[in-house]
């Protein structure tokens, strides 16, 4: 299994999920089809699937153009949001599997950012650990806004659904937000040295023109405030959902100095 991040639009990531055994590949959230199709051609791959995490245009906006260019491609996305996913050919729900060459991709239902948001996990059982494509649900040191869901749903998504994956799971998220997210994290948990170390690393990566993806779930638990809502310094006596809501409100209002 190979994963290639492709920076698109202002700060989005599309990904190619490649099965080296067959040369088959899936494109995750290829909202700008040009650079994604160029990469497919340059690598001599056969694109078999688009995997669409949610309906927002910066994730789903390339579905139709890719299906027009490559009519055999299956466009996979959440069935509960079928009316809002352009070009959808294969509506899926929690636990469904998609086969990309010899790779099995499992669908996880994580509604909150949108009411139909899904994540895709590939390569479960692989020795290097699975790859998680989580769209706008989990970011490096952050999580998505609760546009169509509640703090309770984000707790379920991050702890019960994504949190059930192995700690070595590599996290491939939908946006490059690491520096801004870690800058916020440092204000809510200033004593946490893992935040400061990751922030210094992320600043250096970005200065070198490199991505901050992937991280791992184990790493995220060290510095991501939204995965630390049960830690006393952040919870301050609140329930996980109440802490999640408070952190999200604070992040929404946060403007770096
Ligand atoms: Zn979104």
For CA atoms 208, 213, 214, 216, the dihedral sign is positive
User: Can you state the percent helix, strand and coil of the chain, rounding each to 5?
Assistant: 35, 25, 40
For residue 252, how far is its CA from the centre of ligand 1 (angstroms)? Answer: 15
The reply to whether 164 and 183 lie within a common domain is: no
Q: Tell me: do 161 and 220 sit in the same domain.
A: no
The answer to whether residue 71 scores a pLDDT higher than 90 is yes
The Cα-based distances of 238 to 102, 187, 234, 243 in angstroms read 45, 19, 9, 6
Pick the closest to residue 36 from 1, 4, 75, 77 (CA basis). Answer: 4
For residue 29, what is the domain's CATH number?
3.60.15.10
Q: From the CA of 256, how far away is ligand 1's center (Å)?
A: 22
Per-residue pLDDT, 126? 82
pLDDT in tens, 111-147: 999 999 999 999 998 888 899 999 999 999 999 999 9
Q: What pLDDT, in 10s, does the model give residues 25-36?
A: 999 999 999 999
- How far is the C-alpha of 22 from the C-alpha of 242, rounded, in Å? 47
Give Cα 254 distance to the centre of its chain.
Answer: 22
CA 96 to chain centre: 18
Distance from Cα 56 to the centre of ligand 1, integer Å: 5
> How would residue 14 be classed by pLDDT, with cut points 50, 70 and 90?
very high
The verdict on 40 and 107 lying in the same domain is yes
Distance CA 171, CA 173 (A): 6
pTM: 0.98
126 lies in the same domain as 248: no
- Maximal C-alpha separation, the chain: 55
Residues annotated as catalytic (active site), given as ranges: 54, 56, 58-59, 113, 136, 175
Residues 6+ apart with CB under 8 A from 234: 188, 189, 225, 228, 243, 247
Residues in the chain: 257
- Are residues 207 and 154 part of one domain? no
Expressed in angstroms and rounded, the spacing between residue 176 Cα and the centre of ligand 1 is 13
pLDDT on residue 257: 73
Q: Which of 140, 172, 204 is the C-terminal boundary of a domain?
A: 172
Q: How far is the CA of 59 from the centre of ligand 1 (A)?
A: 7
Where a domain ends, among 136, 156, 172?
A: 172
Same domain, residue pair 29 and 142: yes
User: What residues make up the domain containing 46?
Assistant: 2-172
Is the same domain home to 118 and 30? yes
Tell me if 133 sits within 8 A of 120, measured CB to CB: yes
Ligand 1 center from residue 74 Cα (angstroms): 21
Q: How many domains does the chain have?
A: 2
Q: Assess whether 104 and 10 both reside in one domain.
A: yes
Q: Are residues 19 and 123 in the same domain?
A: yes
Q: Is 90 helix (H, G, I), strand (E, B) or coil?
A: strand
The DSSP bridge partners found for residue 120 are 107, 133
Select from 129, 148, 172 the last residue of a domain.
Answer: 172
Kindly state whether residues 118 and 209 are assigned to the same domain.
Answer: no
Same-domain check for residues 197 and 160: no
Distance 147 CA to ligand 1 centre (A): 9
Mark whether 144 and 109 lie in a shared domain: yes
């Amino acid at each position: 299994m190979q994963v290639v991040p492709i920076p698109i639009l202002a700060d989005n990531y599309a990904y190619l999920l490649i099965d080296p055994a067959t040369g088959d590949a899936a494109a995750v959230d290829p909202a700008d089809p040009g650079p994604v199709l160029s990469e497919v051609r340059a690598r001599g791959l056969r694109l078999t699937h688009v995997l669409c995490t949610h309906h927002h245009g910066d994730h789903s906006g390339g579905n139709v153009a890719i299906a027009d260019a490559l009519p055999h491609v299956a466009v996979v996305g959440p069935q509960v949001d079928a009316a809002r996913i352009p070009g959808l050919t294969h509506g899926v729900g929690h636990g469904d599997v998609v086969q990309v060459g010899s790779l099995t991709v499992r669908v996880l239902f994580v509604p909150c950012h949108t009411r139909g948001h899904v994540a895709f996990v590939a390569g479960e059982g692989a020795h290097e650990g699975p790859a998680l494509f989580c769209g706008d649900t989990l970011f490096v040191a952050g999580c998505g806004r609760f546009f169509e869901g509640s703090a309770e749903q984000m707790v379920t998504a991050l702890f019960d659904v994504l949190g059930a994956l192995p700690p070595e799971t590599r996290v491939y998220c939908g946006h490059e937000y690491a520096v801004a997210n870690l800058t916020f994290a440092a204000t809510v948990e200033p004593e946490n040295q893992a935040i400061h170390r990751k922030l210094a690393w992320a600043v250096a990566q970005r200065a070198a023109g490199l991505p901050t993806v992937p991280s791992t779930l184990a790493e995220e638990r060290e510095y991501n405030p939204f995965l630390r809502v049960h830690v006393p310094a952040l919870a301050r006596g609140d329930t996980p959902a109440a802490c999640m809501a408070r952190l999200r409100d604070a992040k929404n209002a946060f403007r770096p100095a």
